[in-house]
A and B are shown apart, each in its own frame.
Chain A
Amino acid sequence: GQQLNQSPQSMFIQEGEDVSMNCTSSSIFNTWLWYKQDPGEGPVLLIALYKAGELTSNGRLTAQFGITRKDSFLNISASIPSDVGIYFCAGRSNAGGTSYGKLTFGQGTILTVHP
């Protein structure tokens, strides 16, 4: 089945530093999503990507849909303490039938920001 490898598993950074994380897939996706999960809450959608090569920003966050359609990147610039949380990538393929609409999730990147 489809697998997503997300890296790094965790990051410890100083406030103000930039952050990069990525996901790679064993198969092609036609949608990439990035979520953030705060402690005790559900994942919140940050950015959605629909085209290979697409680069999309949301404030200090920038995400890219890889040209090969098998990877995606999320960058956070000038990190602040409230960026702390778990970041998940998720992908959706073109599979039809009962698989249509299902997302495959990465294992998550735990981000810690030291003031």
Chain B
Amino acid sequence: DARVTQTPRHKVTEMGQEVTMRCQPILGHNTVFWYRQTMMQGLELLAYFRNRAPLDDSGMPKDRFSAEMPDATLATLKIQPSEPRDSAVYFCASSGFSYNEQFFGPGTRLTVL
């Protein structure tokens, strides 16, 4: 059953704390995307990787957000320090060599108090 998995599904933390979200793309997919979803902004692309190399992170606040792909089966998105305005649902998606179709994980719902 090929699916994108994300952990944790929910995270509540206090302002200033570090948050790490993890994603396992579908096996064999070489492109991984990080999105943030809020009511006001909808789905925003934060960053994406191809063959583990960062291609575009222009949607990400550089001072506090960082995204990495330590190996082909793991992508991480880190926020340090977290702020209340970071509260959102963060989705990871992956696609294969066709690049056309992206498959989304279930998301991490982040609440920063």
Contacts and interface: CB of A to CB of B under 8 A. Distances in A.
Interface of A: 31, 33, 35, 40-45, 48, 50, 88, 90, 92, 98-103, 105, 107-108
Interface in B1-51: 4, 31, 42-43, 45, 48, 50
A45 B100 contact: no
- Dominant secondary structure of chain B at its interface with chain A: strand
Contact of B106 (A35, A41, A90): A41
A90 B45 CA distance: 12
A50 B100 contact: yes
Contacts of A40: 106-107, 109
Chain B residues touching A, range: 20 to 34
B45 A107 contact: no
Given A98-B56, A101-B48, A105-B43, A45 B107 contact: no
6 contacts: A41-B107, A42-B107, A88-B43, A101-B50, A102-B45, A102-B56
Nearest to B92: A42
Nearest to A92: B100
B65 interface: no
Contacts of B42: 105, 107-108
A102 B33 CA distance: 9
Interface in B62-113: 91, 93, 95, 99-107, 109
Nearest to A99: B56
Given A50-B100, A88-B43, A107-B42, A42 B105 contact: yes
B91 A42 contact: yes
A103 B102 contact: yes
